[in-house]
Amino acid sequence: DIVMTQSPDSLAVSLGERATINCMSSQSVLYSSKNKNYLAWYQQKPGQPPKLLIYWASTRESGVPDRFRGSGSGTDFTLTISSLQAEDVAVYYCQQYYSSPFTFGPGTKVDIK
């Protein structure tokens, strides 16, 4: 199984500042022949189901604000929130869909400082 890790476990950022979340996979999730990284990012607010933010590691889902950016390739990925807003307080999860089981990272909690 591919093991997903995230860092940090939690972070607190001032409004308007940048938040950076890292995700690492135990093996590459890059499908070379398609040149696509099989990695998604989700946001989960308290009491709500998760919401898709990013797929193919860097493609923003329709309707997701452009302050959310996904980057990285192979085994190392980053979700950046360029200017944190109050409504971005949530737990963020990465997930690989390269091979079954499609494992999630443990999550990173983002709060306002």
Question: Which residues contact another protein by CB under 8 A?
Answer: 1, 36, 38, 40, 42, 44, 49-52, 55-56, 61, 91, 93, 95, 97, 100-107
Sheet containing 51-55: order of strands: 10-13, 108-112, 90-96, 39-44, 51-55, 59-60
Gap between the Cα atoms of 34 and 36, Å rounded: 5
Whichever of 73 and 103 has its CB closer to another protein, that residue is 103
Classify the phi-psi angles of 66: left when phi > 0, otherwise alpha if psi is within -120 to 50, otherwise beta: alpha
Q: Smallest distance, Å, CB 16 to another protein?
A: 28
Q: Smallest distance, Å, CB 21 to another protein?
A: 14
Whichever of 24 and 97 has its CB closer to another protein, that residue is 97
